[in-house]
Structure 1
Amino acid sequence: MKKAFVVALVIFCNGVIAQTPEYLHFESPSTKINHSIFSVVEVADTRFDDVYMGFVQKGAFNRKAPVELEQPMTQAIKEFAGGLIANADKQDGAVLINIRDFFLYEAEKMTAETGTFIFRAGCYFRMNDSYHLLFSIDTSITVKSNWDVTKKLKQTACDALGSFIKKAAEFDKNAIREEVWTYADILDIDMKEKADIPVYNVTLPKKGLYKDYAAFKMNQPSDTSFIEEAGRRNTPAFYTKADNGKKGKAVTSKNYFAACDGGKLYFIASNGVYEGIKRDGDFYFTGTIKDASNASMASTAYFMFGIMGGIIASASMEHQILEYRIDHTNGKFLPIKKI
């Protein structure tokens, strides 16, 4: 089920408090649409967090300001799309745009400011009471500026959404896929996707070592012969088994993603091995991550700037004990709760 987190204030414990939102208005003068296969636009918002849209930096001290719309995202996108096709040669038809990620954030580096827009969405053509997927997008766009990158970042987001709508409008109907989706399927798209992933259909994965998420999701161990010993923090340490039966190389995050000893599941993070559990159709673990190499960029930004528990902006992720959820689409570790 989609979880909504209501955010009243974005507070940073280092004394920087952003009080005024930075409003995003959907405008894309560069997007021109001459013809459209639809005249009706529906919008669904299935983001994991359907409240928070990210942050930008404002003022001389780069205070973090939350990005907001002045109306619900579904209505804002519907009106934006309607405006883009207003003067186009339109056919009878309807599309559904499903927004799964729409997140903006900024960072300051030595010589420039950077802004990143993360966008994941699907577009469906409605036929009677069913829907057919036209195409989907899962992208991250980074822009730079020597001064203020906010305006450029906001326009990048608007233009990306405009291009998405233009692609839908000009889509070749002959290329529409036969697979049928219901509206309920789209609203619960994560569960539909997980139903097709073998490891999400078992309580415990097969015994063995998994080199990467690709092996884990298919529930196909990369190595079934290994050695398990007592490790730190009451968690085991895993080693490959050499041809002579002796202990081989240590299992680390550089070469493995997860391990299952037949009784328990463990995820291999950059600074340790953490016991995993399956709960409500997802895999979780509690621990710390020394570096964010396997963490979701967007979700880490949620956490580091106050969205789900007030982790201070200056704090290192290494010292934060968090609960992580495994992203079923790519195996990234998504921080969801401070422990």
Structure 2
Amino acid sequence: MKSGKIIFFLFISIISFKGICQNDAHLVMLQPKEKLEVSNFYISEVIDNRVSKEGIGVIQKGAFNKQVAANFSEPFEKHLQNTFNILLPPAENKESITALIHKLYISERTTTTYELGTCEVEIEFLNSVDGIKYSLGTYSATVEKKGLDVTNKHDERILESLTQIINEASLKGVEKDPNDLPVANNDRTNKKIDFSEGLKKGLYYNFNNLLSNSPVDTLDYNTKLIAETKKLQHYLVHYPNSRKRIKNLFGYSDGENIYLNATNYTQEEYFIKSKFLGKYVYFEDQYDNKYVTAAFGMIGSLASTKLHGIVLDTQTGIVTVLTENKIEKLLEQQPQLLAEYNRGAQKIEDIRSIIKKLNDTLEE
């Protein structure tokens, strides 16, 4: 009877865990409540010039903080155009300008006491004269808010970022002589990082810094090895000649490798070094997942401290711990690789090998 209860408990736990993981999309809808007090321009066109157009960021869902891609509830350019039409109603006495969106990215970070929701926006405003678009300037805003659950407030942070940018542009003015303005570059291509060109050394405050290979290289920092075994190394990042840590980093690069912040998949803050680069940047780590331990006790704790394969998708910015289900999903478009993996022992060496082969296949 007792064993039957245990089996039933495990069955319910597995079903619940699968339920947590099934809904893989998070949609954000912007709903401005009122127009802005801006009288000198309106936005007649939105151009998506983001480095990656796969989504608007990454959020965390469920008790295990699973990373999920976020997107608008309708096409990116259409949704922003509808939003701008409410914030800045078109009028004949206003200047018509174009919004070239270089960045719009939301993210979440979990600590032991709170969650941090972040929105980063960068917009270049353009003026069209005789079919040629001229740049009126580039403006950026970052909005961060703490809370117990920040997922449902991303719309507010996006609107606050847009409002800050619009107000700043309005103060500086948009009525300028085209002869004094540079011609804009509005290349719409979906960019991806080219590792063959080499990594630049510096700090990544967000995924876009990595994707555009433009880390912050103006801030001095030191790295410190805080834990080392035959299988892993953990690092911290400090200000020079100080014990004070540089916080809220996505990662950093030493010019050859990528170091990922462990807060992308656990509550601990340290950095792990990439094993190899590619479409899926591959890492390995051994960590204590407090959610698993709390849910499943000692058995869960033992399972959570084994060596895990971890990948960073350089197209979406999503970090995934490679469980059996996640590996199958990753390989579902590559049946030969999936069959090869299933025939093997499915140990960490097999996971490492199959991700390397997946990257090689995707580069062909």
Matches within 5 A, 1:1-339: 15=18, 16-19=20-23, 21-29=25-33, 32-38=36-42, 40-58=43-61, 62=65, 66-86=69-89, 91-138=93-140, 140-145=142-147, 147-172=148-173, 173-174=175-176, 177-181=180-184, 185-188=185-188, 257=255, 267=256, 271=273, 288=282, 301-304=317-320
Please give the root-mean-square deviation of Cα atoms over the aligned residues, in Å: 5.1
**Corresponding residue SS for 2:162:** helix
Alpha-carbon distance between aligned partners in 2 of 1:163 and 1:118, rounded to the nearest angstrom: 11
Contact 2:119 2:161 (8 Å CA) reproduced: no
**Structure 1's 211 and 116: CA in aligned 2 closer, same or farther, altered over 3 A?**
closer
Alpha-carbon distance between aligned partners in 1 of 2:111 and 2:51, rounded to the nearest angstrom: 29
Contact 2:34 2:87 (8 Å CA) reproduced: no
TM-fit CA distance, 1:129: 0.8
Contact 1:35 1:89 (8 Å CA) reproduced: no
**Corresponding residue SS for 1:67:** strand
**Structure 1's 113 and 179: CA in aligned 2 closer, same or farther, altered over 3 A?**
same
**Corresponding residue SS for 1:165:** helix
Uncovered stretches (5+) of structure 2, i.e. residues with no partner: 1-16, 204-212, 215-251, 260-272, 286-310, 332-347, 357-361
**Corresponding residue SS for 1:187:** coil
Alpha-carbon distance between aligned partners in 1 of 2:284 and 2:321, rounded to the nearest angstrom: 18
Alpha-carbon distance between aligned partners in 2 of 1:102 and 1:320, rounded to the nearest angstrom: 33
Alpha-carbon distance between aligned partners in 1 of 2:115 and 2:146, rounded to the nearest angstrom: 6
Alpha-carbon distance between aligned partners in 2 of 1:303 and 1:255, rounded to the nearest angstrom: 17
Contact 1:56 1:106 (8 Å CA) reproduced: yes
Greater displacement, 54-63 / 153-162: 54-63
TM-fit CA distance, 1:35: 0.5
Q: How many percent identity over aligned positions?
A: 14
TM-fit CA distance, 1:338: 9.7
Alpha-carbon distance between aligned partners in 1 of 2:319 and 2:253, rounded to the nearest angstrom: 27
Alpha-carbon distance between aligned partners in 1 of 2:321 and 2:50, rounded to the nearest angstrom: 18
Alpha-carbon distance between aligned partners in 1 of 2:281 and 2:71, rounded to the nearest angstrom: 31
TM-score by length of 1: 0.50
Alpha-carbon distance between aligned partners in 2 of 1:296 and 1:119, rounded to the nearest angstrom: 22
Letter in 1 for 2:30: F
**Structure 1's 75 and 59: CA in aligned 2 closer, same or farther, altered over 3 A?**
same
**Corresponding residue SS for 2:318:** helix
Uncovered stretches (5+) of structure 1, i.e. residues with no partner: 1-13, 192-199, 218-253, 258-266, 277-283, 324-336
Please list the CA deviations of residues 298-325 of structure 1 after superposition, one character each: whole Å capped at 9, or x if unmatched.
9673343899x9679xxx9xx86879xx
- The structure with the greater share of residues assigned to strand is 1
**Corresponding residue SS for 2:99:** strand
**Structure 1's 109 and 268: CA in aligned 2 closer, same or farther, altered over 3 A?**
closer
Please list the CA deviations of residues 101-139 of structure 1 after superposition, one character each: whole Å capped at 9, or x if unmatched.
322232322111122223233221222211121222455
Count of aligned residue pairs for this structure pair: 233
In structure 1, the residue matched to 2:267 is none
- The structure with the greater share of residues assigned to helix is 2
